[in-house]
Amino acid sequence: MVPVSFLSRFSPIRAWRDLRLFLSHRQRHELVFLVLAIGVTGVVITGFYFDSKIERPYKRPEITYFESWPENRSDEAIKAQQVIDQAKKEARLAELERRQAERRAEFKRLNDKLERWGL
C-alpha cells in the first residue's frame, strides 16, 4: 500500500508550473524541435490507428456435420462404412498432397531465382 504522504507530493498545478519553468529556460530551436518531435510522433501513432482498421471479407462459417448411427448396427455395416470413409479420406489426402507439392514447387522456383541473383 502506498502511503498517503507519498501521493500528496503529486499535484497537476505543480506539474504545470514545473513544465513552464523547464520550457522557459530552453532556447528557441530546442522548442521548435520539441514541437516537431511531438508532431511526427503524433502523425505516426495516428497513421497506425487508422491503418489498423482493416475490414475482413466475410467468410462463411465451416459447419461440421456428424452422422447419427443406429445403436444396433452390425459389424459388417460398420466395416462397409469405414471402407467408404477411408476412400474419401485418401482422396482428400491426395488432393492435399498435390496442393502442397505445387506450393513447394512455387517456393523452389522463387528460391532458384533468388539464388541466381545472388541472394
93 within some domain: yes
At 29 the pLDDT is 94
In angstroms, the CA 43 to CA 51 distance is 12
For residue 31, count other CB atoms closer than 10 A to its CB: 11
Summarised one tens digit per residue, pLDDT across range 35-77 is 999 999 999 999 999 888 878 889 999 998 888 888 888 999 9
Whether this prediction's pTM lies above 0.85 is answered by no
**Residue 20 to residues 14, 30, 37, 72, 102, Cα–Cα distance (Å):** 10, 14, 18, 87, 66
At 19, give phi and psi (nearest 5°): -65, -45
> 90: domain range?
80-119
In angstroms, the CA 115 to CA 119 distance is 5
Number of domains into which the chain is organized: 2
At 10 the pLDDT is 80
